[in-house]
């Protein structure tokens, strides 16, 4: 079952009550290394609704699909949590692979919308009653479902790495010279460019609420245009290649649809071809601003599968790096939110100034400022160099608190920021939970859910820190909560630097071929942008069977439409800046 | 008064502005283009202009900094290159984007593999600078270089490094990574001493 503790705690009691109530439709997952429940597709909606209403599992964190080709099944895995805290309730639906149809959970948890679209796009699992089942990460005319086990990419060489032609007969060649078009494209055999007409975004525009061209604009005296504007992928304020399609009435937003996938690299498929240790540098490139945090989540997931614990010193170093990353990220986020609001780059550069000092620490320790590749299974890769702890102490005790105060006085009382931030883009607490938002977005709306407190991982239960919460849920609160979180991180860092022990940094001898037993694991961390989760299914071979990333930026954007309706176009920029997305994570 | 917030913010900007001049004067004209000042300007009590005047000034790369790998050879007594690499292939197997090609040849008479790479290619366009090859090499033969100024005009010809391009002496390795070099030399000396002690028994 989900918990193996022998003492009875309230969560166990509830789980037992749950199993008793649903014993006729729930079936425990008996596969080796797996946990959770299997449920039939037709019972899913009923079960999920009752779980949310009666048992308090009101936060659906992750919806993902798995392709079990040998057993001819597709499986959809749900991780549900209670906003009061506690471990996950994992339930799964299995459907036949040649016609996978699962009822959609969007009516129960609206936050499942984008994740179900992703399962449709990448795996071909159809969700009945989904309001808008279109492809999300690939373009609308894409042929095939990339994450299926029988789909091969254009640069395909072998099923799993390492490839045999690299050694011992290392005849170098560029893959572009050996494939059909010389580029990363492939076309289905039936494709005829002469007869193909692009139906660009027809379904997208059809699904948007638009006002009729001649509709009465609420009797206003201004004769406003009703148009659809593409806040294009190329835009300086969209924090990356991100597109929003806005349906406008004058300047007021009637409907908003985010379109993503311009940076989709099929990270999850690459992850299935890589061995476990090879995946570590790839995780750096997900949320490329918080690379240490991504490494942390992945290391946690694989360590759960392997059943090993890192050493004491490594745990302290990990927490130190994670909290430094949080400071890093929030400085960047604040800087760029203020940039979006119009303070062109001065506050951003002041914030990035402080960031540089932290990046120098990363460079001296891990070898690289951004793509750190520092965590290993059982510890960290290298020990801290001499003098680094002193630098961290100086930063944490003196420089960063001063600069945080300075950034706060800089623009907190600024009238322009207040007018553009207060009561703009409000996200109510109920919506925040329902849309599965996580991180500062959730906590600025009044729900004090922080994975470090709700479901502690690593050694966070030893540190004394508060969970930052704000109650208005607008852009201004999301700006202020990031400053609060920087202060909390500095508190944790003071304790880490005070208590860090000496010792070994790796629990197991470093091996380049890691053997991971079969099973599944979900490792989640509180990344600065939200809850980052890694769902890994292992079949005992050197490479993962399924590797899924629960990306906070991807899921936080589900709430964009709700936050922007009724506000002006310029507010959409402010709201997007306050959600703080990074495209590497949104698109993977 | 309405507008206090904006004035507070402008006060912060003014402070930064004045600080740039104050710091310049404090250094009496020696603030740029010398290493001592650069280290201080990038330290934790840095004030004033933070910019590094590249390419006249370059940031000092820390020892652990990793860019493209290189192969290490020890300099023999007659100036010959004693290549450490035995073409075991571990770096090529652990490389995440698979950018290392190693050609290993066999001795024509005995048929056993020669512990030296006949050819060694790294495609630096594919290399993701992760450092896993250097981390898992059992012979300390491949290490991460610090040189990042590798731009060229023809990516197809210049961006696949062959064995000649990749070989660099151990003295170069000691100059860019002194602490690592010392630690490895110590481990080697201890192993030699242990072997000698065993043999003499």
A395 pLDDT above the threshold of 70:
yes
User: Which of A164-178, A263-277, A442-456, B157-171 is least confident?
Assistant: A164-178
Q: Which positions ≥6 away from A461 have C-beta within 8 Å?
A: none
**Interface probe, candidates A278, A370, A542, chain B, greatest B C-beta count within 10 A:** A278
Q: What is the DSSP letter of A257?
A: E
User: Which of A194-203, A280-289, A460-469 is least confident?
Assistant: A194-203
The 10s digit of each residue's pLDDT in A206-215 is 777 766 655 5
Mean of pLDDT values over A520-531: 91
Mean of pLDDT values over A104-113: 90
Q: How confident is the model at residue B71 (pLDDT cuts 50, 70, 90)?
A: very high
Between residues A180 and A151, the one the model is more confident about: A151
Q: Which of A281, A353, A398 sits opposite B130 (nearest CB)?
A: A281
Give yes or no for A415 touching B (CB within 8 A): yes
Mean of pLDDT values over A122-134: 89
Q: How confident is the model at residue A342 (pLDDT cuts 50, 70, 90)?
A: confident
Q: What is the pLDDT of residue A2?
A: 42
B69 pLDDT above the threshold of 70:
yes
B35 pLDDT above the threshold of 90:
no
Q: What is the pLDDT of residue A214?
A: 57
- Write out the E strands in A202-355: 226-231, 243-249, 252-259
A318 pLDDT above the threshold of 60:
yes
Tokens of A285: 């490139």
B59 pLDDT above the threshold of 90:
no
Q: What is the pLDDT of residue B177?
A: 92
ipTM associated with this complex: 0.90
CB pairs under 8 A between A and B: 144
As to burial, measured by CB atoms within 10 angstroms (0-12 exposed, 13-18 middle, 19+ buried), residue B159 is middle
Q: What is the pLDDT of residue A4?
A: 42
Give yes or no for B2 touching A (CB within 8 A): yes
Q: What is the pLDDT of residue A40?
A: 86
- Residue linked to tokens 């820190």: A465
Q: Do B132 and A512 make contact, defined as CB atoms within 8 angstroms? A: yes
CB neighbour burial string for A338-350, b if at least 16 within 10 angstroms, e if fewer? bbbbebeebbbeb
Q: How confident is the model at residue B190 (pLDDT cuts 50, 70, 90)?
A: very high
Q: Chain B 85-124, CB below 8 Å of chain A: which residues?
A: 87, 89-90, 92-96, 98, 100-104, 113, 119-121, 123
Q: Do A356 and B42 make contact, defined as CB atoms within 8 angstroms? A: yes
Q: How confident is the model at residue B14 (pLDDT cuts 50, 70, 90)?
A: very high
A174 pLDDT above the threshold of 60:
yes
Q: What is the pLDDT of residue B23?
A: 85
Q: Which of A356, A363, A414 sits opposite B62 (nearest CB)?
A: A363
Shortest Cα distance from A300 to chain B (angstroms)? 19
The count of residues in chain A is 588
Q: What is the pLDDT of residue A1?
A: 39
Question: What value does the mean pLDDT of chain A take?
Answer: 87
Give yes or no for A411 touching B (CB within 8 A): yes
Q: How confident is the model at residue A566 (pLDDT cuts 50, 70, 90)?
A: confident
Q: What is the pLDDT of residue A216?
A: 56
Q: Which of A167, A169, A395 sits opposite B93 (nearest CB)?
A: A167
DSSP three-state, residue B101: strand
Q: Is A453 left (phi over 0), alpha (psi -120 to 50) or beta?
A: alpha
B147 pLDDT above the threshold of 60:
yes
The 10s digit of each residue's pLDDT in B75-102 is 888 878 888 999 888 999 999 999 999 9
**Residue A43: how many other CB atoms lie within 10 Å:** 15
In DSSP notation, B1-34 reads: -TTHHHHHHHHHHHHHHHHHHHHHHHTTT-SSSS
């Amino acid at each position: 079952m989900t918990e193996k503790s022998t003492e009875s705690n309230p969560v166990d009691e509830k789980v037992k009550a749950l199993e008793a109530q649903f014993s006729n439709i729930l079936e425990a997952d008996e596969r080796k290394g797996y946990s959770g429940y299997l449920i039939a597709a037709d019972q899913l909606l009923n079960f999920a609704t009752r779980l949310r209403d009666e048992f308090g599992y009101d936060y659906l964190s992750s919806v993902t699909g798995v392709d079990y080709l040998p057993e001819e099944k597709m499986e959809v895995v749900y991780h549900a949590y209670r906003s009061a805290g506690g471990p996950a309730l994992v339930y799964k639906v299995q459907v036949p692979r040649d016609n996978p149809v699962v009822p959609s959970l969007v009516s129960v948890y609206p936050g499942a919308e984008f994740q179900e679209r992703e399962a449709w796009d990448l795996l071909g699992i159809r969700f009945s009653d989904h309001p808008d089942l279109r492809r999300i990460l690939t373009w609308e005319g894409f042929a095939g479902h990339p994450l299926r086990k029988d789909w091969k990419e254009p640069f395909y060489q072998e099923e799993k790495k390492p490839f045999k032609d690299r050694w011992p007969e290392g005849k170098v060649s560029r893959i572009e010279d050996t494939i059909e078009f010389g580029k990363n494209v492939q076309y289905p055999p039936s494709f005829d460019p002469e007869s193909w007409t692009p139906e660009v975004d027809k379904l997208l525009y059809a699904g948007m609420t638009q006002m009729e061209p001649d509709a009465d604009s609420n009797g206003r005296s201004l004769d406003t245009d009703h148009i659809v504007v593409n806040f294009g992928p190329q835009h300086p304020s969209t924090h990356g290649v991100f597109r929003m399609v806005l349906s406008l009435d004058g300047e007021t937003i009637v409907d908003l649809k985010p379109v993503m996938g311009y940076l989709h690299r099929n990270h999850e498929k690459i992850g299935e071809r890589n061995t476990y240790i090879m995946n570590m540098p790839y995780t750096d490139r997900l949320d490329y601003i918080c690379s240490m945090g991504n490494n942390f989540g992945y290391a946690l997931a694989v360590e759960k599968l392997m059943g090993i614990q890192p050493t004491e010193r490594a745990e302290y170093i990990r927490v130190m790096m994670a909290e430094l990353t949080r400071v890093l990220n929030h400085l960047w986020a604040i800087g760029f939110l203020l940039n979006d609001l119009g303070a062109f780059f001065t506050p951003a550069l002041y914030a990035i100034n402080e960031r540089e000092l932290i990046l120098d620490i990363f460079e001296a320790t891990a070898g690289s400022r951004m793509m750190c590749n520092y965590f290993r299974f059982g510890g960290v890769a290298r020990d801290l160099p001499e003098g680094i702890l002193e630098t961290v102490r100086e930063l944490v005790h003196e420089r960063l608190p001063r600069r945080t105060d300075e950034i706060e006085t800089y623009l907190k009382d600024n009238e322009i920021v207040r007018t553009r931030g207060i009561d703009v883009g409000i996200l109510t607490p109920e919506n925040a939970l329902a849309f599965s938002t996580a991180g500062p977005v959730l906590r600025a709306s009044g729900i004090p859910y922080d994975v470090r407190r709700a479901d502690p991982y690593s050694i966070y239960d030893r540190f004394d820190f508060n969970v930052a919460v704000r109650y208005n849920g607008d852009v201004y609160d999301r700006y202020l909560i990031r400053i609060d979180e920087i202060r909390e991180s500095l508190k944790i860092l003071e304790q880490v630097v005070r208590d860090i022990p000496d010792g070994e940094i790796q629990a197991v001898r470093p091996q380049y071929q890691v053997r991971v037993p079969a099973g599944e694991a979900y490792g989640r961390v509180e990344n600065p942008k939200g809850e980052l989760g890694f769902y890994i299914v292992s079949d005992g071979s050197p490479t993962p069977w399924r590797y899924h990333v629960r990306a906070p930026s991807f899921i936080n954007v589900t709430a964009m439409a709700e936050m922007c309706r009724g506000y002006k176009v310029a507010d959409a920029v402010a709201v997007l800046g306050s959600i703080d997305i990074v495209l590497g994570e949104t698109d993977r | 008064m309405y507008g206090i917030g904006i004035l507070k913010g402008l006060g912060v900007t003014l402070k930064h502005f004045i600080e740039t001049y104050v710091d310049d004067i404090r250094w009496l004209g020696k603030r740029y283009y010398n290493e001592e000042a650069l280290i201080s300007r990038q330290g934790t009590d840095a004030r004033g202009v933070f910019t590094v005047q590249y390419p006249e000034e370059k940031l000092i790369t820390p020892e652990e900094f990793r860019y493209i790998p290189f192969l290490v050879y020890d300099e023999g007594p007659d100036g010959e290159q004693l290549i450490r690499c035995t073409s075991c292939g571990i770096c090529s197997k652990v490389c995440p984007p698979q950018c290392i090609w190693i050609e290993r040849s066999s001795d024509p008479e005995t048929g056993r593999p020669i512990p030296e790479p006949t050819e060694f290619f790294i495609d630096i366009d594919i290399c993701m600078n992760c450092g896993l090859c250097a981390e898992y090499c059992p012979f300390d033969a491949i290490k991460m270089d610090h040189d990042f100024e590798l731009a060229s005009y023809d990516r197809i010809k210049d961006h696949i490094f062959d064995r000649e391009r990749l070989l660099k002496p151990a003295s170069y390795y000691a100059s860019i990574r002194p602490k690592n070099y010392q630690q490895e030399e110590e481990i080697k000396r201890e192993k030699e001493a242990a072997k000698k002690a065993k043999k003499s028994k």
